[in-house]
Amino acid sequence: MDLRTNYMGMELKHPLVASASPLSATLDGIKRLEDGGASAIVMFSLFEEQIRHEHAALEHLTEAGTESFAESLSYFPDVEEYHIGPDSYLELIRKGSEAVDIPIIGSLNGVTPSGWTEYAKQIHEAGTKGIELNVFYIPADLDIEGRDVEQLYVDIIRMVKGSVPCPVAVKLSPFFSSMGNMARRFVDAGADALVLFNRFYQPDFDLENLEVVPNLELNGPSEIRLPLLWIAVLYGRLDASLGATRGVFSQTEVIKYLMAGADVVHSTSALLRKGPGYMQILIDGLEEWMHRRSYESVQQMKGSMSQVKVGDPSAFERANYIKVLESYKSPYMI
């Protein structure tokens, strides 16, 4: 049975990818993900704020006291002699790329175009086979218009694609007024893959201490619905790979994503809960289901339930929304 798939020009032995998580934060973790069965690994994200912090720290060290003693400048090498940035992240990519046989994909999480390009180059040079842009931007300023936010995303993609020769994926948000149009604009800007969808972590309220607190809850299978819808709608309409993420807890979610049209399926929460070895259980479950249904390859099943392939395309549109609401029956309805 042929489980191979193609993602951003990379041939993977199967579609199960370990997405960005703390599991890839150590060399041992990277090896465990490969041993667990992952066909590729997306590194944990490097945040723009980390890069800025290191820049600020270096500037502070090289400039401290120089306004008092001009001769003190001679004690410091030129700034160009320093390798500015989180060196440990790049070193982990280098060691990880040498230690495993599967592709490693770097992950950048930023908010401004200038915060991406230079480090994208360094991540590529460290040995990654691709880069995933994890764009996390919350426009809390009420004066920012929607079109400005959209253009920010497009500008980031163009700048990064212009700075690196490797394929670039964009992990994007579903919160656009015209999701399909934005997906096409991202691809036109150079995105080699779209990963649907980024998960925004909203704060919570502590009512005892009256504080705003961070709250991280691992996702559940119910979160598959939104990315499933848009992967099914976008399949066959864009010249880019499609990655699915959110809600993968069993082979059932993997199969649904593939039949919607995903080229790869990312998993994080399930691996954090059950360990890297759970990846092989997902692969075995996919293979067993394909055998029972007489599928010979992942390529054969991919997109078979997308909007362009099903008999009733309106099932993905407003008509189905009305049907769902009209068909629901509560036991308390008389």
How many Å apart are CA 41 and CA 81, to the nearest integer?
A: 32
Our CA angle for 231, 112, 58, nearest 5°, is: 135
What does the pLDDT read at residue 55?
45
Sequence ranges of the domains in the chain:
5-307
pLDDT in tens, 104-150: 999 988 766 666 788 899 999 999 999 999 877 777 788 989 899 89
Range 48-59 average pLDDT: 51
CB 191 within 8 A of CB 213: no
How many Å apart are CA 329 and CA 334, to the nearest integer?
A: 10
The DSSP letter of residue 89 is H
Range 236-249 average pLDDT: 95
In the chain, pLDDT over 70 holds for what percent of residues?
Answer: 79
How many Å apart are CA 85 and CA 55, to the nearest integer?
A: 7
Radius of gyration of the chain (CA): 22
Our CA angle for 22, 28, 31, nearest 5°, is: 95
How many Å apart are CA 332 and CA 334, to the nearest integer?
A: 6
Confidence of residue 278 (pLDDT cuts 50, 70, 90): very high
The token pair that represents 185 in the structure block: 């604009």
The token pair that represents 197 in the structure block: 């969808």
Range 167-180 average pLDDT: 92
What does the pLDDT read at residue 56?
45
Confidence of residue 252 (pLDDT cuts 50, 70, 90): very high
What does the pLDDT read at residue 116?
75
pTM of the predicted model as reported, rounded to 2 decimal places: 0.84
The rounded mean pLDDT for the chain is: 84
Q: Is pLDDT larger for residue 89 or for residue 221?
A: 89
Q: 3-state class of 17 per DSSP?
A: strand
CATH 3.40.50.720 fits 5-307, yes or no: no
What does the pLDDT read at residue 128?
96
How many Å apart are CA 121 and CA 10, to the nearest integer?
A: 19
What are the backbone dihedrals phi and psi of residue 215, each rounded to the nearest 5 degrees, phi first? Answer: -145, 115
Confidence of residue 312 (pLDDT cuts 50, 70, 90): confident
Crossing angle between the packed helical segments 225-234 and 179-188, to the nearest 10 degrees: 60
What does the pLDDT read at residue 316?
75
Confidence of residue 314 (pLDDT cuts 50, 70, 90): confident
What does the pLDDT read at residue 205?
86
The DSSP letter of residue 297 is B
